[in-house]
């Protein structure tokens, strides 16, 4: 049983497996094929879909996309 960590994803707590990367998180969320951008702890993760950046316990992750706006 892999150990888990808690992250703050789009403002909500979520438990993910230890060793989760930005890339694997997007796969887990079903967003690997969607246009989106990711910030971890306030820093933009360039090329998030291929990012091997490891998420640490307590990481604040923002996953954003484009919506209608003026």
Residues that bind another protein (CB under 8 A): 9-12, 29-31, 34-37, 39, 42, 44, 46, 48-49, 62-70
The DSSP secondary-structure symbol of 33 reads: T
Query: Considering beta carbons, is residue 1 or 67 the nearer one to another protein?
Result: 67
Instruction: Answer for the pair 38, 51: CB distance below 8 angstroms, yes or no.
Output: yes
Query: Considering beta carbons, is residue 1 or 30 the nearer one to another protein?
Result: 30
3-class DSSP state of 12:
strand
In angstroms, give the least distance from the CB of 2 to another protein.
22
Both tokens assigned to 54: 């490891």
């Amino acid at each position: 049983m892999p150990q888990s960590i808690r992250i703050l994803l789009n403002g909500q707590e979520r438990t993910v497996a230890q060793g989760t990367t930005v890339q694997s998180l997007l796969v887990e969320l079903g967003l690997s094929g969607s246009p989106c951008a990711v910030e971890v702890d306030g820093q933009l993760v360039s090329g998030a879909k291929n990012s091997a950046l490891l998420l640490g316990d307590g990481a604040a992750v923002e996953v954003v996309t484009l919506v209608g706006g003026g």
